[in-house]
């Protein structure tokens, strides 16, 4: 059952926290890292290889995701593995990906309809 927030407007504090989260997730490099972590834990080296980010850049963005407690780090000898800590990221990514796919299908259908006229 979906929650109905229409009767309980968000407080200023809630709005601020939501804005911080969406601001953090608005950076493509951080989205690449999150996407690469979706299947499971990765080292920085693996993330660099999978995302194409430079190591320093990946580390900077991982630090921001760690500070926000969206990802976590586990030390394993000389390495550290990063993983998704906040399960909400899986749901949020599914919602956004489904919406994006739906919009792309609508655009394609519209373009195909125009081409057939």
0.85 cut: is pTM over it? no
pLDDT tens-digit map of 46-83: 999 999 999 999 999 999 999 999 999 999 899 899 99
Domain shared by 18 and 75, yes or no: yes
Domain shared by 110 and 65, yes or no: no
In a domain, 66, yes or no: yes
In a domain, 105, yes or no: yes
**In angstroms, rounded to a whole number, what is the distance separating the alpha carbons of residues 84 and 8?**
30
Domain shared by 25 and 73, yes or no: yes
In a domain, 50, yes or no: yes
In a domain, 1, yes or no: no
Query: What is the mean pLDDT of the segment spanning 7-17?
Result: 89
Domain shared by 66 and 79, yes or no: yes
Which pLDDT score, from 0 to 100, does residue 3 have? Answer: 58
Confidence check: pLDDT of 1 > 80: no
Its domain, for residue 110, covers 87-117
Sign of CA dihedral 90, 87, 82, 59: positive
């Amino acid at each position: 059952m979906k929650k109905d927030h229409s009767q309980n407007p968000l407080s200023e504090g809630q709005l601020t926290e939501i804005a911080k989260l969406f601001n953090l997730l608005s950076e493509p490099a951080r989205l690449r890292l999150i996407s690469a972590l979706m299947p499971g834990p990765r080292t920085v080296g693996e993330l660099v290889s999978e995302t194409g980010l430079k190591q320093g850049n990946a580390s900077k963005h991982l630090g921001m995701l760690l500070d926000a407690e969206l990802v976590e780090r586990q030390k394993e000898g000389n390495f550290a593995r990063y993983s998704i800590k906040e399960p909400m990221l899986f749901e949020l990514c599914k919602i956004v990906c489904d919406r994006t796919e739906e919009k792309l299908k609508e655009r394609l259908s519209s373009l195909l309809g125009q081409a057939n006229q």
